[in-house]
Amino acid sequence: MSRRLVVLLALGACGSHGSAPKKPEAPPVATDRLPLAAPLVTPGEHMTYKLALMGAELATFELAVGQPETVAGKPAIVVQTHAKVSGIGELAAGAAGIHVDDSFTSWVDIATGRPLRWYCDEFATKSEDKERTEAKLAERTGNTIPVEFHVNDAAPTSEPQTVSMPDVWDFNSFLVALRTWEAPPGSTVKAEAFRSRYVWHVDMTMGGKSRMSTALGEFPVWEVRGHTYKLARDGSKRTDDERDFQIWFSDDAGRVPLKVVAKTDYGDVEMTIVDYNPGS
């Protein structure tokens, strides 16, 4: 009698199915603060994405990590994103008089992962004017963050932003922070983040794990789901703009954002990775 058959018979005699006890899943947790941690980025790291609506390419989106600098007396790493229309989106935008060639720069504290400064340089809607916004997050006083806004080369005007959360992010630093978020499925985190000139309230929920095929190959992934709405300058909720979105990260050491899907009135806008350089 083979050893394998002996083992099976013994298990049967004991009333066992031969499977190991299932490890109980940890219960979901809710928090309003992501962990203090060094940002999961590398100087020279670069990601390129394609933005599409109903399968038609609209724009390209790039995320690049620069070299360390000093901001507000603290060591910081530069994270910059750049959006530019492409494909059929370039034709549609040109016909509508819309210009998209926008850059957004974050200076992120190397020790805590918190943003110290946020700078936007983007075209105004249906205009060739450039709107420039600087949020001085490191100079927060109480619940007020200094924000300066100006068009083209005009003198900046002050637009202080009232916030309520213990941490306030910007789009770049929040995406980087989510790379390090680990929690059981169903867990939630609340946040406030600058998207460009304004702050948005964000509710994130940890999803499950699966696999995803991309232009770079197939990867194990984990998903987060988000719901967001815009805040007025006084911190109150605006009712004119709410959105839902999903992000999938690679479930490996790199934890690279692979895909983002945002719900719109025109259908799902998908941002999928097409190129990745891990940096040095």
Domain locations in the chain? 27-277
What is the CATH number that goes with domain 27-277?
Answer: 2.40.360
CA-based torsion, 73, 103, 225, 165: positive or negative: positive
Model's pTM, two decimal places?
A: 0.86
- 18 φ/ψ sector (left φ>0, alpha ψ -120 to 50, else beta): left
Q: Determine the residue type at 235.
A: G
Reduced to 3 states (helix: H, G, I; strand: E, B; else coil), residue 21 is: coil
pLDDT of residue 14: 36
Q: What is the DSSP letter of 30?
A: E
> Among 4-8, 138-142, 150-154, 265-269, which range has the highest average pLDDT?
138-142
pLDDT of residue 88: 66
Q: What percent of the chain has pLDDT over 70?
A: 86
Strand 56-71 and strand 46-53: the pairing is antiparallel
pLDDT of residue 10: 29
| pLDDT tens, position by position, 4-18 | 333 222 223 333 444
The token pair that represents 115 in the structure block: 């943003």
CA-based torsion, 173, 61, 254, 219: positive or negative: positive
| pLDDT tens, position by position, 163-192 | 999 999 999 999 999 999 999 999 999 999
- What would the mean pLDDT of 140-147 be, rounded to a whole number? 97
17 vs 20 pLDDT, higher one: 20
Using the predicted structure, report yes or no on whether residue 115 has a pLDDT greater than 70.
yes
pLDDT of residue 41: 96
Helix ranges restricted to H, the chain: 3-13, 88-96, 171-178
Number of residues in the chain: 280
Instruction: For the chain, give the mean pLDDT.
Output: 88
Confidence of residue 90 (pLDDT cuts 50, 70, 90): low
Using the predicted structure, report yes or no on whether residue 114 has a pLDDT greater than 90.
yes
Asked if 175 and 195 count as a contact pair (C-beta separation under 8 A), the reply is no
pLDDT of residue 211: 97
pLDDT of residue 73: 95
Beta strand segments in 72-216, E = 74-85, 101-109, 115-123, 130-135, 144-145, 147-151, 157-158, 161-162, 168-170, 188-194, 199-214
Lowest mean pLDDT among 46-55, 220-229, 243-252: 46-55
Confidence of residue 220 (pLDDT cuts 50, 70, 90): very high
| pLDDT tens, position by position, 228-280 | 999 999 999 998 888 999 999 999 999 999 999 998 776 789 999 999 999 98
Residues 130, 132: Cα–Cα separation, whole Å: 6
Strand 237-250 and strand 257-264: the pairing is antiparallel
- Whole-angstrom CA distances from 112 to 11, 39, 87, 237 are 52, 7, 39, 28
Confidence of residue 21 (pLDDT cuts 50, 70, 90): low
